Amino acid sequence: MNPVHLLEELSNACGLPGDEGEVRAILRRALTPHVDEIFTDSIGNLICRKGSGPVRLMLDAHMDEVGLVVAGYDAGGLLRFKESGGIDARVLPGRAVLVGRAKLPGVIGLEAVHLTDEDDRGRVVPAHRLRIDIGARSREEAEAVAPPGTPVYFATRFSPAGGRLVRGKAFDDRIGCVALAEALLDADYANLTLLAAFTVQEEIGLRGAQVAAYNLEPHLALAIDGTTAGDVPGIEPPQTCSHIGQGPAISLMDGTIITHERVRDHLVALAERHGIPHQFRRLTTAGTDAGAIFLQRAGVPACTFSVPCRYIHSPASLASLDDLEHTVRLIGLMARSLDEGEFRP
């Protein structure tokens, strides 16, 4: 299994919160030959098990991406929409999108420049004033091909971006899914039950992870996400949050969890011992599945570390394959450390 090919397939696949089937199918096909058990749980999480040792290690990455949902129609056949997950309205005007499972091409219409006045050109157009144009000529025609609730995805296709960089949509968190898949392939631990949970509905409230963690009852959990890298000119740390090329960004704290101190310290120690580049995620806002996992049942020690991605929650992100590789290595080191009894949850 080539991780770049898997990332390409997953990045191009479409799956909004609650509608992750296409992503799940790709992962199921890729992983079934390599795991001891694979199943979809009641809410749609894809769960893979490798090994049956006494220590239960849960790895988590979410399958859903942010996108739009058709919410209404204008008389002329333009679609009104709502966001599913957090999207900055500034990234929307003029975007090419794909509408529905049929992936009908559409455009988020931007008022022609010669019709705007000076003042309007500087302002952010709120999402409720934007429209998706699929070329329908009437409300009835639009509704027939894109009924209310139809998902709308960014139309970005995956591509290399020079050096070790790749570009595509939904790196948050398809890149985390690839990290988990790679970790499963490498897995061979006598004392662990390795449980990889590819979760649903993270972007709208960490929902799938609650169900997965409650069911799986892990002793320890690592959530692998894509986090924002703001390492561009004009932004200074800590606002940069994380930097491309500096390795997995280990979370100190976000809006949903203060990561488990012992787990976090051990991750850093392992990275340092083995010369793996790593950094701390500098922002303390937003949330990841770890925030849902650690409060399940009687509590689970949990930590998140993330692949830095520029421009997450926008049509196209940039990430480094080196950062992905180092993230996979760090997962493996933590798993081995647990397996050998060096770290006890």
Partner 1 sequence: MNETLRRLTAVYGPSGRESAVAAAVSELIGPYVEAVRSDALGNLIAGPAAIAPEARPLMLSAHLDQGGLVVTEVGQDGRLRFSVIGGLSAVGLPSLRVASARGANGVVGVDEGVDAKDLAPSKMFIDLGVAGREATAGLADIGDVFCLTGELAEVGETLVGPALDNRAGCAVLIEVARRLAAEPHSDRQAVQFVFSVQGAVAPRGVRTAAYALEPGWALAVDVTAAGGSRNRSPVELGKGPAIRVKDASYVAPGPVRQRLEAAARKAEVVTQTEVLPPGEGQNEAAGAELARAGVLAGMVGLPARHLGTASEMVHRSDLDAAVRLLLAVIDPVA
Helix (H, G, I), strand (E, B) or coil at 159: strand
* Residue 300 found at the interface with partner 1 (CB under 8 A): yes
Confirm whether 340 is a catalytic residue: no
Read off the amino acid at residue 253: M
Show the tokens assigned to 58: 């849960």
Window contacting partner 1 (CB under 8 A); options: 86-94, 112-120, 250-258, 334-342: 250-258
For partner 1, which is the closer residue by CB, 125 or 295?
295
Please tell me the distance from the alpha carbon of residue 224 to that of residue 288, in angstroms, as a whole number: 9
* Residue 238 found at the interface with partner 1 (CB under 8 A): yes
Among 33, 233, 297, 341, interactor with partner 1 by CB under 8 A = 297
* Residue 315 found at the interface with partner 1 (CB under 8 A): no
Let me know: does 225 contact 64? Beta carbons within 8 Å.
no
Q: What is the dihedral of CA 197, 201, 206, 207, to 10 degrees?
A: -80
Treating both helix axes as pointing N-terminal to C-terminal, what angle do 3-12 and 171-186 enclose, rounded to 10 degrees?
Answer: 150
Treating both helix axes as pointing N-terminal to C-terminal, what angle do 21-31 and 3-12 enclose, rounded to 10 degrees?
Answer: 160
Window contacting partner 1 (CB under 8 A); options: 112-120, 225-233, 276-284, 314-322: 276-284
Q: How far is the CB of 128 from partner 1 (least distance, A)?
A: 24
Window contacting partner 1 (CB under 8 A); options: 81-89, 125-133, 172-180, 279-287: 279-287
Taking alpha carbons only, the member of 215, 206, 210, 202 closest to residue 15 is 202
For partner 1, which is the closer residue by CB, 228 or 296?
296
Taking alpha carbons only, the member of 80, 296, 288 closest to residue 173 is 288
Please tell me the distance from the alpha carbon of residue 152 to that of residue 82, in angstroms, as a whole number: 10
Binding mask 72-111 for partner 1 (x = CB under 8 A): ----------------------------------------
Helix (H, G, I), strand (E, B) or coil at 71: strand
Q: Which of 182, 202, 203, 325 is catalytic?
A: 202
Rounded to the nearest angstrom, the gap between the alpha carbon of residue 259 and the centroid of all alpha carbons in its chain is 19
Let me know: does 216 contact 56? Beta carbons within 8 Å.
yes
Among 284, 340, 342, 344, interactor with partner 1 by CB under 8 A = 284
For partner 1, which is the closer residue by CB, 256 or 314?
256
For partner 1, which is the closer residue by CB, 171 or 294?
294
Rg (CA), the chain: 21
Q: How far is the CB of 119 from partner 1 (least distance, A)?
A: 26
Q: How far is the CB of 304 from partner 1 (least distance, A)?
A: 13
Q: How far is the CB of 20 from partner 1 (least distance, A)?
A: 27
Q: How far is the CB of 57 from partner 1 (least distance, A)?
A: 14
For partner 1, which is the closer residue by CB, 259 or 314?
259
Q: How far is the CB of 302 from partner 1 (least distance, A)?
A: 9
Residues facing 21 on adjacent strands? none
* Residue 260 found at the interface with partner 1 (CB under 8 A): yes
Please tell me the distance from the alpha carbon of residue 25 to that of residue 13, in angstroms, as a whole number: 10
Size of the site for partner 1 (CB under 8 A): 23
Taking alpha carbons only, the member of 91, 72, 89 closest to residue 81 is 72
Q: By CB under 8 A, name the binding residues for partner 1.
A: 237-238, 252-253, 257-261, 264, 280, 282-284, 294-301, 345
Which residues form the catalytic set?
202
